Structure 1
Amino acid sequence: MIKFEHSIFALPFAYIGVLLSNNYNLKIFVLVTIAMISARSVAMALNRIIDYKTDKLNPRTQGRELPIGKVQLKEAWVFTIFSFIVFEISAYLLNPLAFKLSFVALFFLITYSYTKRFTWLCHIYLGATDAIAPLGGFVGAVGYLDINIFYLALFVAFWIGGFDILYALQDLTFDLKNGVHSIPVKFGPNLARVFAALFHLVAFIFLLLTIYMYKLNYFAYIGAFLVLCLLIIEHLLVDPKDLKKINIAFFNINSYISIVLVIVFLLGRFIND
């Protein structure tokens, strides 16, 4: 029900947050990793539990573990509570502020699954939820927040929000019939693609601002333009009339973006001109 690749989008940005803090060691990286994976597990498990009845009706999600009975609701709840406890312990072991803000993070992780039931702004809320990753990595490392790390958080928010709009295209027919809210439902598939492109353009600007504010070298700028190229490819792969390549765009391309940015931020921080 919960796969490691569910963490691949957010986890690298927690590492980048740690890296940009200039305060890191093995203990911090291990605790941040545990906190991120357990938090993501809480979010994904709750998402499956909350959407259980809807998933049974949606042809795309009917084969998931809960609808087919491969995983029981009771088991899902036990897993969620266990993941919650692991998350809180890891946050507590990092520092006091990380522990206090962990409850704010949990609020977003728990509530984002409900937003599509009443607002087409659900994509923005999901983006804001995933934007906690770099903030959490930074706070976990140093115990305070720096204004500049919010540029990276805003990149994540608009990047995630943009591809979540594209991902929602495949459920357009079901969502229209069942009262599920999204930008494709509100504005139609063509305008939804425009919204997604604008989101990704704004994300690219915030990525450049992050690199500039942290005075990273040209490797980081090269990485930013590689990300831009990958985003363009992602949009070219998504055709509202033929969504067969949506999973390639969603999982493969966005995974490449995360990995590219971890590598180039490392190079941008540690290799001198």
Structure 2
Amino acid sequence: MSDYKKITESPSNYDDLEKMDTASILVNMNNEDKKVADAVALCIPQITKLVDALVERFENGGRLFYIGAGTSGRLGILDASEIPPTYGLPHDRVIGLIAGGDVAIRRSVEQAEDDPRQAWKDLETYNISKADTVIGIAASGTTPYVIGGVKSARENGLLTACITNNPNSPLTEAAEIPIAINVGPEFVTGSTRMKSGTSQKLVLNMISTALMIRIGRVKGNKMVNMQLSNIKLVDRGVRYVMEGLNIDYDKASVLLKKHGSVKKALEAER
């Protein structure tokens, strides 16, 4: 790894931040953020490879695990937690794990990421199997918790991938499908909750959304399997049924209540 340079620790393109007025800080941050989507675009071939592999595994009962620490771990948990309400899958199909456990979601548990054995221990509590996939998320690409988990998963025959912001990092070497998003140095040097975190969120959106579409959880462009768990979502569901069946709101509401989901209402009444 002699050629490995940690881009995420490179000096910011800006200096004397404390001397900038508020507008200058925000404009310069926004200029840096504009680079993120282009950096993600360069990773689409690897993301495609991962999603295609996930589709096959999911259709055979496999699960997706995200493992990470700090911001990266929280982003994985966020993505996983939104799959059941948005796409109606059980909560145990996409699972996010963070170094330090659930307490680390709200409060920093910094030293928890230093144990390379703990992630595999955490995964084993879920009766992990070769049908499952593990994606390690770490901006630095050097987090022991993540690297150790990915290595152990790969050694045990699971599909492994990673999302990092340092090409040629130890994490990219450990994962079968590495996704390395080079967003350049952060506005505040080393603050990977910024561009790095944004890029990770974009990639997570791409992975999970593309997977859900490919396994049939979307119809047309609608979330037809969403959980009808509040007034807003029920109203959205009624409008989807209205549009799909070309009927008025009241009739659509009756059908949605009768069938319990947009998908079932559309399939039964067409």
Bin for the TM-score computed over the shorter chain: under 0.3
Point out the structure with the larger helix share.
1
Greater relative CO, 1 or 2 (CA 8 Å, sep 6+): 2
Point out the structure with the larger strand share.
2
TM-score, normalising length: structure 1: 0.28
TM-score, normalising length: structure 2: 0.28
Larger radius of gyration: 2
